[in-house]
């Protein structure tokens, strides 16, 4: 029995408490604006893939430093669940002229201004694309130089505000944390 309890505790420590999530602020005409939107604002789920295109509502937020801007390490409440913000930045929706399906890309933090990674579609997640120039405005045309399957001319359709969260709550104890605590109390 003791071996079983130890094995379950080890599994609980290895498994993550929350999943990586990506949300895009869904306010028409807003564009990229890192200031906090009012509570009640709609966000569009990009990741995880099984929740793609799900609209959710910002029900609360904590602007920890009071500057009115969304910052990493602040928290947002989505549909009543607190989530820890790990990254904020622009999402670029780009499409090939004449093509129906766009891709969504984000700049790679700390890289040159011409490197982006794909965040949608799911099968291309994290593929790095290199452009001939930085993406700076809607209706701009850029050339993707590599990888070959994405090479060619692309049109910038939209630039929106995007956040990455860890999917967990910094405030509310997750189910795994509760299970780990229960087992730790059982062993001690």
Q: Which residues in the chain land under pLDDT 50? A: 1-17, 173-174
| Whether the Cβ atoms of residue 132 and residue 114 lie closer than 8 Å to each other | yes
> Where on the phi/psi map is residue 57: left (φ > 0), alpha (ψ -120 to 50), or beta?
beta
139 and 180 share one domain: no
131 and 62 share one domain: yes
26 and 14 share one domain: no
What domain range includes position 6?
A: 1-18+175-188
98 and 145 share one domain: yes
Q: What is the pLDDT of residues 56-103, one digit of tens each?
A: 999 999 999 999 999 999 999 999 999 999 999 999 999 999 888 899
Tokens of 155: 């049109």
Q: Is residue 170 part of a domain?
A: no
pTM exceeds 0.85 for this model: no
Cα distance between residue 152 and residue 81, in whole Å: 41
Q: Give the Å distances, CA to CA, from 1 to 7, 8, 70, 164, 188.
A: 10, 11, 48, 40, 15
- Domain count of the fold of the chain: 2
103 and 183 share one domain: no
131 and 186 share one domain: no
pLDDT score for 76: 94
């Amino acid at each position: 029995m003791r071996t079983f309890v130890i094995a379950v505790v080890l599994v609980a420590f290895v498994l993550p408490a929350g999943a990586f999530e990506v949300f895009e602020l869904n306010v028409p005409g807003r564009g990229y604006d890192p200031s906090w939107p009012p509570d009640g604002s709609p966000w569009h789920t990009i990741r995880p893939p099984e929740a793609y295109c799900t609209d959710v509502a910002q029900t609360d937020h904590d602007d920890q430093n009071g500057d009115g801007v969304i910052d990493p390490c602040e928290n947002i409440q989505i549909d009543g669940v607190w989530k820890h913000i790990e990254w904020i930045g622009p999402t670029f929706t780009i499409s090939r002229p004449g093509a129906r399906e766009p891709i969504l890309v984000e700049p790679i933090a700390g890289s040159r201004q011409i490197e982006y990674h794909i965040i949608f579609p799911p099968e291309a997640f994290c593929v790095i694309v290199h452009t001939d120039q930085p993406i700076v405005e809607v209706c701009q045309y850029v050339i993707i130089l590599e990888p070959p399957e994405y090479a060619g001319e692309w049109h910038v359709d939209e630039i929106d505000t995007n956040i990455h969260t860890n999917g967990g709550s910094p405030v509310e104890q997750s189910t795994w944390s509760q299970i780990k605590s229960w087992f730790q109390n059982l062993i001690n």
